[in-house]
Structure 1
Amino acid sequence: MNETLPNYTPEERRKRIWGIVGAASGNLVEWFDFYIYAVFATYFTVALTGPAEGSKGTFFVWGAFALSFFMRPLGSWLFGWIADRYGRKQSMLISIVMMGAGSFCFALLPTYEQVGVLAPVLLLVVRLFQGLSVGGEYGAVATYMSEVALRGRRGFYASFQYVTLSGGQLLASLLGVILLAFLSNEQLEQGGWRIPFFIGGFAALISLWVRRKLEETTTAEQRESKESGSLIALFRDHWKQFFLVVGYTAGGSLAFYTITVYSRNYMMGIGVDPKVVGYIMTIGLFVFMLSQPVFGAIGDKVGRRASMLLFSAIGAVCIYPIMAWGMPTIKDSAVMLGILLIIMMFILSFYTSIGGLVKAEMFPTEVRALGVGLSYAVGNALFGGTAVSVATEFKSRGHVEYFFIYVAIMLVVCFFCSFALPKKPQYLENDH
Structure 2
Amino acid sequence: MSQPKADARAPGIWTIVLASSAGTIIEWYDFYLYGSLAVFFSTLFYPPNDPTAALLVSVATFATGFVVRPFGALLFGSLGDRLGRKHTFLLTLILMGISTTLVGFLPTYATIGFAAPIALVVLRLVQGLAIGGEYGGAAIYVAEHAPANRRGFFTSFIQTTATVGFFVAILIVLACRLSLGEEAFRAWGWRIPFLLSALLLMLSIYLRMKLSESPIFEQMRQAGKVSRAPIRESFGTGQGLRYSLYALFGATAGLGCVWYTGQFYALYFLQSVLKMDFLTANVCVAVALAIGTPLIVVSGALSDRIGRRPLIVAGLLLAAALYIPIYMGITAAAAAQNYIAVTALILAQLIFVALVYGPNAAFLVELFPARLRYTSLSLPYHIGTGIFGGFVPLISLSVVSYTGNIYAGLIYPISIAVLTATVNVLCLPRSVATDLSSELGAAPVTGRQVA
Name 1:179's counterpart in structure 2: 176
Deviation at 1:430, TM superposition (A): 6.6
Task: Identify the match of residue 333 of structure 1 among 334, 338, 359.
Answer: 338
- RMSD of aligned Cα (Å): 2.3
Question: Scaled by the length of structure 2, what TM-score is found?
Answer: 0.89
Alignment partner, residue 348 of structure 1: 353
Deviation at 1:206, TM superposition (A): 1.1
SS in 1 for 2:106: coil
Q: How does 1:299-318 map to 2 (within 5 A)?
A: 299-318=303-322
The corresponding residue for 2:76 is: 79
Task: Name whichever of 11-20 and 58-67 sits farther off.
Answer: 11-20
Q: Distance in 1 between matches of 2:309 and 2:436?
A: 14
AA of the residue aligned to 1:219: F
Q: Deviations over 1:333-367 (max 9, x none)?
A: 11111111111111220111111221111100011
Q: Which runs of 4+ in 1 moved over 6 A?
A: none
* Secondary structure, counterpart of 1:193 in structure 2: helix
Summarize the alignment of residues 237-252 of structure 1 with structure 2, pairs less than 5 Å apart: 237-247=239-249, 248-252=251-255
Question: Identity rate of aligned residues, in percent?
Answer: 26
109-118 or 71-80: bigger deviation: 109-118
1:272 CA drift (Å): 2.8
- Residues 229 and 146 (structure 1 numbering): CA distance in 2 closer, same or farther, change over 3 Å? farther
Contact preservation (8 Å) 2:149, 2:433 = no
Q: Output the CA distance in 2 between the equivalents of 1:9 and 1:136.
A: 25
Name the amino acid aligned to 1:261: F
- In 1: Cα distance, 2:57 partner to 2:378 partner: 27
- Provide the rounded CA distance (Å) in 2 between the counterparts of 1:118 and 1:9: 52
**1:233 lines up with 2:233 in the alignment:** yes
Aligned pair partner of 1:424 in 420, 431, 442: 431
The equivalent of 2:41 in structure 1 is 44
Equivalences for residues 349-364 of structure 1 within 5 A: 349-364=354-369
Q: 1:258 aligned to 261, 270, 294, which one?
A: 261
- Per the alignment, do residues 12 and 152 of structure 1 end up closer, same or farther by CA in structure 2, a change over 3 Å counting? farther
Any residues of structure 2 matched to 1:313-324 within 5 Å, and which? 313-323=317-327
Q: Tell me the distance in 2 between the aligned counterparts of 1:266 and 1:12.
A: 50
Of structures 1 and 2, the one with the larger relative CO (CA 8 A, separation 6+) is: 1
Bigger CA drift: 65-74 or 373-382?
373-382
Q: For 1:218-229, what aligned pairs fall within 5 Å after superposition?
A: 218-220=216-218, 222-223=220-221, 224-225=224-225, 227-228=227-228
Q: Does 1:288 align with 2:279?
A: no
1:63-93 alpha-carbon deviations (Å, 9 max, x no partner): 1111211110110011101111111001111
Tell me if structure 2 keeps the 8 A contact 1:39–1:173: yes
Instruction: Report Cα offsets for 1:290-341 as digits up to 9, x if no partner.
Output: 2121111111111011111211121211112112x21112212111111111
Identify if the C-alpha distance between structure 1 residues 416 and 116 changes in structure 2 by more than 3 Å, giving closer, same or farther.
same
CA distance in 2, matches of 1:428, 1:287: 34
User: Aligned partners of 1:355 and 1:258: how far apart in 2?
Assistant: 17
Structure-1 separation of matches of 2:113 and 2:369: 50
Alignment TM-score, normalising by the size of structure 1: 0.93
Equivalent residues of 1:222, 1:228 under 8 A apart: no
User: Post-superposition shift, 1:376?
Assistant: 0.9
| Residue 428 (structure 1) shift | 4.2
Distance 2:325 2:252 in 1: 23
Structure 1, unmatched stretches of 5+, are: none
Name the CA distance, whole Å, in 2 between partners of 1:229 and 1:426: 27
Q: Quick check: 2:25–2:162 contact (8 Å CA) kept in 1?
A: yes
Correspondence for 1:125: 122
8 Å CA contact retained: 1:229, 1:367: no
Gaps of 5+ in 2: 439-444, 446-451
Alignment deviations for residues 357-404 of structure 1 (CA, whole Å, 9 cap, x no partner): 211111000110101111111222321111111122012121231221
CA shift for structure 1 position 240: 1.0
Aligned equivalents of 1:374, 1:240: Cα separation in 2:
13
Matched-pair contact (CA < 8 Å) for 2:176–2:192: no
Q: 1:116 aligns with which of 103, 113, 118?
A: 113
Residues 58, 159 of structure 1: CA spacing in aligned structure 2 closer, same or farther, 3 A cutoff? Answer: same
Q: Deviations over 1:208-230 (max 9, x none)?
A: 11111112113345245363551
**Residue equivalent to 1:105:** 102
Opposite residue 87 of structure 2, the aligned amino acid is Q
Pair 1:153 & 2:158 matched: no
